[in-house]
């Protein structure tokens, strides 16, 4: 009996140790078009979808894309990064009014997305939302492309209980069926920075800044960016708590270049041209100029905006 026990115990320990890695979450996981979600998402045994990898990644961990492919929709519930650093197109096709990437994380969770392509299928399948931010501390988008979506980026922290922030860099948003980038304040402090962002051919609005509350500041900065060919308005601001700074940017060939119904937009070193109306600010909105802009070539709305001193 003693001898059998001596053999059995080490065997059971060995079995447990062998099974443990398959159960554990990893700080870095991998996805591949040749992968399988039944895998453990390690480098040699990658997962097939972003959701499969997300579910096996530790909070504050990273998902790395190994090769080009469509990796499916994902709901993000933790601090995480999804990274494609130049292996080819990595993303998803979106249709039927669905959402490609939903971010519903914790109040202190930061999410980073880099090098992804999100494309709506459009008619006859219907399109959807590219990226929808509902809760979390922050999200950063870098080197991404979003095309043919009803709303490409919806930053609307419906469930947030604290300050939130959005940062978009080196990203192209094109052919949105409604709005390119929508930023909605929910009564809490919010900041958004768009740097080297191009928004083209939105059917309605290129960039929308709105709010559902008269409290909570909404601060948006747009720099080195292009917003063009929006059917209704290039930059639409309708939030009394909003302060929007547009610097070194181009607003061109929209129905109205910059429309402010409430809140304040400050414009510096930028060009507003080729629009049906260059700008409008009413009934409770204001557009202020640093006096170094080019507002010309519009059908209407070319009167110089009220100026503010440079400091």
- Contact status, residue 275 vs residue 234, Cβ threshold 8 Å: yes
pTM to 2 decimal places: 0.92
207 pLDDT more than 90: yes
Which H helix or E strand runs over 46? none
pLDDT tens digits, 97-118 = 999 999 999 999 999 999 999 9
Q: What are the domain boundaries of the chain?
A: 59-295
Query: What count of residues does the chain have?
Result: 311
Model pLDDT, residue 262 = 97
Q: Reply yes or no: is the peptide bond before residue 133 cis, omega within 30 of 0.
A: no
| Confidence tier at 215 by pLDDT (50, 70, 90) | confident
Q: What angle do CA 21, 22, 25 make, to 5 degrees?
A: 75
pLDDT tens digits, 29-41 = 999 999 999 999 9
Give the separation between CA 146 and CA 305, rounded to whole angstroms: 33
CA distances from 250 to 113, 211, 234 (A): 25, 25, 10
User: Beta strand 117-120 with 26-31: parallel, antiparallel or unpaired?
Assistant: unpaired
Q: Which of 181, 177, 186 is nearest to 198 (CA)?
A: 181
Residues 59-295, CATH architecture: 3 Solenoid (2.160)
242 pLDDT more than 90: yes
Residues above pLDDT 70, as percent of the chain: 93
């Amino acid at each position: 009996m003693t001898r059998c026990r001596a053999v059995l115990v080490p065997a059971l320990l060995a079995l447990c140790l062998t099974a443990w890695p398959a159960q554990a979450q990893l700080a870095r996981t991998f996805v591949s078009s040749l992968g399988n979600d039944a895998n453990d998402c390690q480098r040699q045994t990658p997962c097939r979808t972003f959701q499969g990898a997300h579910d096996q990644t530790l909070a504050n961990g990273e998902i790395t894309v190994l090769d080009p492919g469509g990796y499916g929709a994902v709901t993000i519930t933790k601090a995480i990064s999804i990274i494609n650093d130049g292996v080819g197109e990595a993303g998803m096709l979106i249709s039927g009014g669905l959402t490609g990437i939903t971010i519903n994380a914790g109040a202190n969770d930061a999410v980073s997305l880099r090098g992804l392509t999100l494309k709506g299928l459009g008619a006859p399948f219907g399109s959807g939302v590219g990226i929808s931010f509902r809760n979390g501390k922050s999200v950063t988008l870098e080197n991404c492309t979003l095309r043919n979506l009803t709303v490409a980026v919806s930053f609307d922290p419906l469930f947030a209980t604290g300050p939130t922030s959005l940062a978009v860099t080196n990203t192209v948003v094109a052919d949105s069926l409604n709005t390119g980038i929508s930023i909605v304040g929910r009564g809490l402090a919010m900041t958004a920075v768009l740097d080297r962002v191009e928004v083209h051919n939105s059917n309605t609005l290129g960039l929308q800044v709105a709010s559902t509350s008269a409290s909570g500041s909404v601060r948006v900065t747009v720099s080195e960016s292009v917003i063009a060919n929006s059917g209704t308005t290039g930059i639409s601001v309708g939030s009394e708590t909003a302060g929007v700074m547009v610097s070194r940017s181009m607003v061109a060939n929209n129905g109205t270049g910059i429309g402010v119904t409430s809140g304040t937009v400050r414009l510096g070193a930028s060009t507003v041209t080729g629009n049906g109306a260059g700008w409008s600010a009413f009934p409770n909105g204001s557009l202020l100029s640093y006096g170094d802009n080019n507002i010309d070539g519009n059908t209407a709305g070319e009167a110089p905006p009220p100026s503010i001193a440079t400091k």
